[in-house]
Structure 1
Amino acid sequence: MALAVVCVVWGTTYFAMRIGVATVPAFLFSGVRQVIAGVLMMVLLLLSGQRLAISRRDIGRQFIAGTLMIALGNGVVGWAERYIPSGLAALIVSIMPVYVVLIGYIAGTDRKAINVYLVIGLLLGCVGVGLIFRDNVADLGNSNYRYGVLAAFFACFCWAAGTVYTKHRPSAAKTLVNVAFQLTSGGVVLLLGSIFLDDYSQLATVTSDSLWALAYLIIFGSLASYGCFLYALKHLPPGLASVYAYVNPFIALLLGYFFLHERLTGITALALIVTLGGVFFINKSYRQKAKI
């Protein structure tokens, strides 16, 4: 259920981020979102009678995870969406399971997870992304578009690294406490980066749509979904926990098509079939491993 929430809700966050960063400086937008969400999580935990019990070592681990996934992952994707369609950003991020498996294999933390079904699934996922990316090759001549694409690939890698790190450097603290510290630390890093990277003159043209998008992302994109993601990551193999990256793009594509007039072609339909086939084989590979 937690993974299902992540698959659906995070698919909508690309659409919301696209609206938000249209009139708000990108790193400031993401930083404010994550800090508010992290602080709200802490307040809710305290009001419910829970203690924010976490060791110094685990605070350091959550800072690293928050920097990789929240700041360099999610925050950089938000910046990329100033220059590329939300659906394309989600599609690029969908190769994240490939990064997760490769990083885990190189680091020697998850080599036993490699089997024929997993390889087939990852390859199909890459082919699905490639099919849609083919529609955007001509746009790479635009330098801003090209930088947006490269930034999205970089963000995807950072999120994958954070996923592997979180899985193999677990915290003894409760999941929601970890969520609060990751969101807050990642948000602080984004706010510091915003000082040097953002153009604050944009603040004169902030729209109500961007503010509503910010509110949605705080409540659903960060508070609700990120907790579900860490819960799923804790109880599922990292490769399986990351298959949401194959589902998110198609939700983002549909929302972008209907509400932002982003392009949707016949190749996209073929990519949907191929990519969902990849999800099937990845799930099959981990079910087989569980039986063993």
Structure 2
Amino acid sequence: MDKKTVNAYLALSVVCVVWGTTYFAMRIGVATFPAFLFSGIRQVTAGALMMAVLLLVGQKIAISRRDITRQFVAGTLMIALGNGVVGWAERYIPSGLAALIVSVMPIYVVIIGYVWGNERKAVNGYVLTGLLLGAAGVALIFRDNLADLANTDYLYGILAAFFACFCWAAGTVYTKHRPSSAKTLVNVAFQLSSGGVVLLLASLFFDDYSRLDAIAPDSLWALLYLILFGSLASYGCFLYALKHLPSGLASVYAYVNPFIALLLGYFFLDERLTWITGLALMVTLSGVFFINKGYQVKRTVS
């Protein structure tokens, strides 16, 4: 295993841990902050800070018009329609449940990649088994939440989270197969900024600005955490992992994030946690193992 691959696995580990905490932070943030405005400020600020850091260290911001367009598409799919819509959904559903829904994302990635035609050879028995186990883990969690679907707001939150999950998966596959020739951190800055601008525009139509008078300090602290760690640090790690690992493997963080989110929600937000969650944990992590194994087999054969 070469150095870049090792670094990619380390970057993926950071994503697995930090992004698990972001669901908790978003839940706190949107509790008193207009959801799209909250996410838009977060991403635009993170993108601007990333650009400033690059300029301060003497990094040349070199990117073509084609690559700017590609980063705008990726930023819209992953940052605005993916992350931003999940933040809106967390106004109505628990943070742990939102993370669990997003954990089906590797299934979408493999399906979209297969339809796209670029990663059909990557789908083997191990990968299929892993995806099925991951889906089974999510299904176990939903066993405790079916009755809540009668609540209209709750149902809208569920549907929004699934939509966001699909958009993030589409952005993941798009980024993998429409790579930019610019440096990774330059791509990060443009994706965060473009996605943030789309969210600020969405805020004008969907947010209730009367809530601005009631923003709590906890929401502001959550915003600061998400800017520095949820966006700046971990998003760069994600793009690095995506560049050097297969998209299906780079997306397995979605299996780990829910359990970090569930634990934080249970201990600090009084969200429900049952024995089924423990069973789902074992089933889902088994799915992670099989997906990893499937991609290792593909690389060996190749």
TM-score, normalised to structure 2, is 0.96
Show the counterpart of 1:196.
205
Mapped partners of 2:194, 2:171: distance in 1: 13
- Per the TM alignment, residue 240 of structure 1 is displaced from its structure 2 partner at its CA by 0.3
Give the % identical residues: 80
Q: Residue 253 of structure 1: which of 225, 240, 262 is its match?
A: 262
Spell out, residue by residue over 1:153-204, the C-alpha distance to the aligned partner (whole angstroms, 9 max, x if none). Answer: 0000000000000000000000000000000000000000000000000001
Structure 1: 5+ residue runs without aligned partners?
Answer: none
Spell out, residue by residue over 1:205-252, the C-alpha distance to the aligned partner (whole angstroms, 9 max, x if none). Answer: 000000000000000000000000000000000000000000000000
Q: SS of the residue aligned with 1:19?
A: helix
1:79 matches 2:88: yes
1:219 matches 2:228: yes
Show the counterpart of 2:4.
none
Show the counterpart of 1:154.
163
1:123 matches 2:132: yes
- Per the TM alignment, residue 124 of structure 1 is displaced from its structure 2 partner at its CA by 0.1
Number of aligned residues = 292
Mapped partners of 2:270, 2:156: distance in 1: 22
Show the counterpart of 2:277.
268
Amino acid at match of 1:193: A
Q: Residue 230 of structure 1: which of 239, 242, 248 is its match?
A: 239
- Per the TM alignment, residue 107 of structure 1 is displaced from its structure 2 partner at its CA by 1.0
Mapped partners of 1:92, 1:206: distance in 2: 27
Show the counterpart of 1:142.
151
Mapped partners of 2:22, 2:242: distance in 1: 19
Q: SS of the residue aligned with 1:240?
A: helix
Amino acid at match of 1:139: D
1:99 matches 2:81: no
Mapped partners of 1:230, 1:172: distance in 2: 13
Summarize the alignment of residues 174-213 of structure 1 with structure 2, pairs less than 5 Å apart.
174-213=183-222
Show the counterpart of 1:13.
22
Q: Residue 281 of structure 1: which of 286, 290, 298 is its match?
A: 290
Structure 2: 5+ residue runs without aligned partners?
Answer: 1-9
Amino acid at match of 1:162: G
Coordinate RMSD, CA, aligned: 0.3
Mapped partners of 1:93, 1:125: distance in 2: 11
- Per the TM alignment, residue 134 of structure 1 is displaced from its structure 2 partner at its CA by 1.2
1:164 matches 2:151: no
- Per the TM alignment, residue 133 of structure 1 is displaced from its structure 2 partner at its CA by 1.2
Mapped partners of 2:260, 2:142: distance in 1: 16
Mapped partners of 2:229, 2:277: distance in 1: 27
- Per the TM alignment, residue 290 of structure 1 is displaced from its structure 2 partner at its CA by 1.1
- Per the TM alignment, residue 264 of structure 1 is displaced from its structure 2 partner at its CA by 0.1
Mapped partners of 1:140, 1:243: distance in 2: 27
Amino acid at match of 2:169: A
- Per the TM alignment, residue 109 of structure 1 is displaced from its structure 2 partner at its CA by 1.2
- Per the TM alignment, residue 256 of structure 1 is displaced from its structure 2 partner at its CA by 0.1
Amino acid at match of 1:42: M
Show the counterpart of 1:113.
122
Show the counterpart of 2:47.
38
Q: SS of the residue aligned with 2:179?
A: coil
